[in-house]
Homo-oligomer: A and B are copies of this chain.
Amino acid sequence: MLPQDCPLPIGRREANRATRREAILDVAHRSFLERGYAATTMSAIAASLGGSKGTLWSYFASKELLFAAVLDRATTLFQAQIAQALNPRDGVADSLHAFARQFLDRITAADAVALYRLVIGEARRFPETGRIFHERAPGRTRALLAAYLEAAMARGQLRAADPMAASRQLMSLCMGGCHQQLLLGLIDKAPRKAIVEEAELAVDSFLRAYAA
């Protein structure tokens, strides 16, 4: 009777199921990132959902599958945040400064650090995870940045060099300070001032190294 009840061939049942699935992933996401894999319990997730364990298992047949689904979604979100960090501007210096600033902002956010920790910490138990994470997050960013650098090199704004290697170097330069300290738990939050200075320093060195 009401066409807007079912604008797409999805019934309320399927819609509810999708919503529920997202809710589970939200809770599991938080728990895995906050506590790590081992310390996250299925019972706690079910309890936190308000539902029963049977329901949880009807969505995800095992803890490993739930973990995989969480990481799949998390890396997708991460990718979406990171990929748009490179907004070409007029000059190479301005573009790279903006990139470094945004890149550092993203990777020093609390959940990015927690995700990174989780992926590295469980890389032996879940080898696929490391691969997926890499190809979605740092790999994609590196490829985007490399494409930009290659164009800049072609225009003579930077000296000719391997754009992928250059891209990796710039990203490495960005990750040596706050990010490292966050990973090791030396600090809880990166001070804005430190991020700005660090991005500046990284790009300055990079531009000296790759001046035309």
Contact = CB atoms under 8 A, between A and B. Distances in A.
Given A165-B201, A169-B173, A209-B209, A184 B125 contact: no
Interface in A124-151: 124-125, 127, 130-131, 133-134, 138
Contact of A121 (B121, B171, B210): B121
B184 A176 contact: no
Copy count, this protein chain: 2
Interface of A: 34-39, 117-125, 127, 130-131, 133-134, 138, 165, 168-169, 171-173, 175-177, 180-181, 183-186, 201-202, 205-206, 208-211
B186 A138 contact: no
A184 to B, nearest CB: 4
Contact of A202 (B124, B133, B169, B208): B169
Nearest to A204: B209
Contact of A185 (B124, B177, B180, B210): B124
Contact of A172 (B134, B138, B173): B173
B172 A175 contact: yes
Given A176-B168, A202-B169, A36 B121 contact: yes
A123 B201 contact: no
A102 to B, nearest CB: 18
A210 B36 CA distance: 41
A103 to B, nearest CB: 13
- Considering the complex of A and B, which 9 residue pairs feature the smallest CB-CB distances, nearest first? A121-B121, A172-B176, A38-B38, A130-B184, A123-B185, A130-B185, A205-B209, A208-B209, A209-B209
A169 B125 contact: no
B131 A185 contact: yes
A211 B205 CA distance: 11
Given A36-B125, A38-B39, A173-B173, 17 more contacts: A34-B124, A35-B124, A36-B121, A36-B122, A118-B121, A120-B121, A121-B121, A123-B184, A124-B185, A134-B186, A138-B180, A165-B201, A168-B176, A168-B177, A205-B210, A208-B208, A208-B210
